[in-house]
Chain A
Amino acid sequence: MRTAILTDIHANREALEACLAYAARAGADRYAFLGDLVGYGADPGWVLSAVMRHVARGAIAVLGNHDAAVLHGPTKTMNPAAQRVAAWTRGQLTQTQLDFLAALPLTREDGDTLYVHANAWAPAAWGYVEGTMEAKRSLLATRCRYTFCGHVHEPALYHLAEGERVVHFEPAPGVAIPLGARRRWLAIPGSAGQPRDGVPAACYAMFDDAQHTLTYYRVPYDFEAAAAKIRAAGLPETFVVLLDNGRRP
């Protein structure tokens, strides 16, 4: 079965539409959404409805810190601009959509695979997997062979064999990477709705659990339209610039 994994969509309708269309053409059998469905972007309602439709058909979805901020108010560490967007987002959502967010689990295990927004060692504390140290901590905190997470917006792949060091790999798009059974793997597909590695194209990844291969993809989408909507909604200008550059200003 081929699972298309999307994460950190951040209320970006244009990016989500483009990724879903690409994934469908690439033969996705199902979908997994690794949280941060909202925050930053101007289309939280549309994005949530789309994800809810997929979940009704068997897709996997977990909660992200921006989703939690909409439900429970922002955390102290969140920057003021993001806090403002969280409050604005809450006003955009219907009760059904808020209920859907409130019902999302922090983690979801499916056979040998763990889906989580931030990490496996303390999913609710939102620590970032920024390097091999955190990747190892996360890999050792789950019994699952494969961990898929988001939170970090740049695509990355970590692997660990018994008694060895965790190694980082920067994946190239479009290459089916075999994830050998002798080691554990932690994969970050990269953000669909707000890439930060200098390339504005949306990120997603496809996991084939029969072939045990993972393919990272970059999907070009109309980021100018998404940016214009953020500006029109009166949301912070920083998020407009982020979409244009695919990078922090």
Chain B
Amino acid sequence: MNGPAVMPGAVIGGYIVEHLVHRGGMATLWRVRDPRNATPLVMKIPRTGYGEDHAAIVGFEVEQMVMPLLTGVHAPRFVAGGDFTLQPYLVMEFIEGPSLRERLDEAPLPADEVANLGARVATALHDIHRQDVVHLDVKPSSVLFRASGDAVLIDYGLSHHHRLPDLLAEEFRLPMGTAPYISPEQVLGVRSDPRSDVFALGVTLYHLATGERPFGNPTTLTGLRRRLYRDPVPPRALRRSIPLWLQEIILRCLELDARERYQTAGQLAFDLQHPEQVPLTERSRRSHSDGWLTVARRWFGALGAEPPPQRPVDDHLSASPMVMVAIDLTEGIDAMAEALRRAVQRVLQTEPGARLACVTVLKTSRIGVDLQVDHDGRSLHVQRLVELKHWARPLRWAPDRLTFHVLQAPDTAHALVDHARNNHVDHIVIGARGSSTLRRYLGSVSAHVVAEAPCTVTVFRLPSPRAQPIDG
């Protein structure tokens, strides 16, 4: 592989090399220019010389396979690739940053700042998981932010695509990942679990919130294997000012058993966006890591541990859907609300892993000041919240998978669709009222939601009695 020398001014694959952006262990990154197009671009070139890491080359092959398949704002846009016959390279859009790595220097950061950054990264992860990809190397330097604030995941050299041959899976016997961030199952060689990315993001959140790494930076295989049995010191033991909810979220991400973590990055994003709704468990109150007896028990369990049977990426996501039910409570809990509850019950029966978000909209006028209190001075917002909880009680859904939201907005349909989009909802259940002249004129809320929603929508309608034929 004696490709052309890479230096400023060189032309590779029709792209003009401008200057070096970054020299990493596996590859170099150059700013390049396409003479036919002014879009800022970067070219990634693997280090393929003598003595270079073999894994770097295969990792680059993996990146060449995965990158062209990724779409959306949360991955760099792939532009072109050159294969190994001449000079291997990848050309993609240049994202200025900043990188999440830069924020690490300011750690510890305030809780709301950690939650805000974390929610944006979790949203990006959920998006690439939905595209059948597990990143497997999530860390601050793999995250860039666009000017819009959207997080972008870069560096797919260790990633796994559920529908493509995994070039890394069978070739390397050693765990692959970055030591401080690697999940216990990755230490065992599992490469297909999206919850590994949730773990790595948990390490990042821990670091941002406390200024310390939860598992240090092990440099030996024995050190890495501690990941299988040693839980971290709870964040609040390091910084008392960290709120209970943030400790709850971080420790849930860092559960050694993937089944105890957030099952999807979308659920993690949801909790980071709604701290007040995070159910606090024993995790939030923990003041020290587990005692020697528990750890010793886990240590014995970890001896000769084999990875559990694996499910494909999309299985994890579809087994833990986010269901949102939109309830109109302007008439109180009427026949429609009752019927809607039975419809939701049936959805939940088929989706035992679902999280349920109960949403109602408190309409505000577009103009003028709204009085959000009734004539007795009670807050309408609180009243609606109480009604929502009352409505959901008969469902007997697990409290840690149930949330309530009273949205205040002038446009009900718009508010519902926005909420669904921001919270990674997979399925909306909504009722449609019978037709009325006004509705025919304005269009119904459910019709708007069906048209605009980013996901499946089930519209529930009460059976209407057959109309009396009009004599004439």
Contacts and interface: CB of A to CB of B under 8 A. Distances in A.
Contact of A164 (B83, B164, B166, B171): B171
Given A157-B165, A159-B165, A175-B163, A182 B83 contact: yes
Nearest to B162: A172
A5 to B, nearest CB: 18
A27 B167 CA distance: 29
A177 B85 contact: no
A212 interface: yes
A161 B68 contact: no
B432 interface: no
Given A180-B65, A182-B84, A165 B170 contact: yes
Contact of A178 (B85, B164, B169, B170): B164
Interface in A224-239: none
B85 A181 contact: yes
A178 B57 contact: no
Interface in B41-90: 57-58, 61, 64-65, 68, 83-85, 88
Interface in B9-28: none
Contacts of B65: 177-178, 180
B164 A182 contact: no
**Centre residue among A161, A169, A175, A178 by max chain B CB count within 10 A:** A178
A213 B299 CA distance: 45
A199 interface: no
Given A164-B171, A165-B171, A167-B170, A178 B68 contact: yes
Nearest to B88: A182
A183 B84 CA distance: 9
A178 B167 CA distance: 12
A161 B167 CA distance: 9
Contacts of B166: 169
Contacts of B83: 180-182, 212
Nearest to B171: A164
Contacts of A177: 65, 163-165
A185 to B, nearest CB: 9
B171 A180 contact: no
A195 B258 CA distance: 38
A161 B58 contact: yes
Interface in B308-365: none
A105 to B, nearest CB: 28
B285 to A, nearest CB: 45
Nearest to A174: B163
A165 B166 CA distance: 13
A172 B312 CA distance: 12
A172 B163 contact: yes
A175 B312 CA distance: 15
A157 B328 CA distance: 53
Contacts of B164: 175, 177-178
A169 B57 contact: no
Nearest to B67: A178
Contacts of A182: 57, 61, 83-84, 88
Nearest to B61: A180
B452 to A, nearest CB: 28
B160 to A, nearest CB: 13
B163 A180 contact: no
A181 B171 contact: no
A180 B68 contact: no
Contacts of A167: 165, 167, 169-171
B170 A181 contact: no
Interface in A167-214: 167, 169, 172, 175, 177-178, 180-183, 212
A178 B163 CA distance: 11
Nearest to A167: B170
A169 B84 CA distance: 22
A167 B68 CA distance: 23
A187 to B, nearest CB: 11
A177 B167 CA distance: 12
A161 B85 CA distance: 13
Nearest to A212: B83
Contacts of A212: 83
Nearest to B82: A181
Nearest to A176: B69
A169 B68 CA distance: 20
Nearest to B65: A178
Contacts of B61: 180, 182-183
A181 B58 CA distance: 12
A180 B170 contact: no
A192 B64 CA distance: 31
A164 B61 CA distance: 14
Contacts of B165: 157, 159, 167, 169, 177
A161 to B, nearest CB: 7
Given A164-B171, A167-B170, A181 B68 contact: no
B55 to A, nearest CB: 12
Nearest to B1: A182
Contacts of A157: 165
B83 to A, nearest CB: 4
Contacts of A169: 165-166
A120 to B, nearest CB: 20
A167 B172 CA distance: 12
B84 A181 contact: yes
A207 to B, nearest CB: 15
A137 B88 CA distance: 28
A136 to B, nearest CB: 13
A3 B27 CA distance: 35
A164 B55 CA distance: 12
Interface in B343-392: none
A16 B438 CA distance: 57
Nearest to B81: A178
Contacts of B88: 182
Nearest to B64: A180
What 3 A-B pairs come out closest when comparing CB atoms?
A181-B83, A169-B165, A182-B84
Interface of A: 157, 159, 161, 164-165, 167, 169, 172, 175, 177-178, 180-183, 212
Interface of B: 57-58, 61, 64-65, 68, 83-85, 88, 163-167, 169-171
7 contacts: A157-B165, A175-B164, A178-B65, A180-B61, A182-B83, A182-B84, A183-B167
Given A177-B163, A180-B61, 9 more contacts: A159-B167, A161-B167, A169-B165, A177-B164, A180-B64, A181-B84, A182-B57, A182-B61, A183-B167
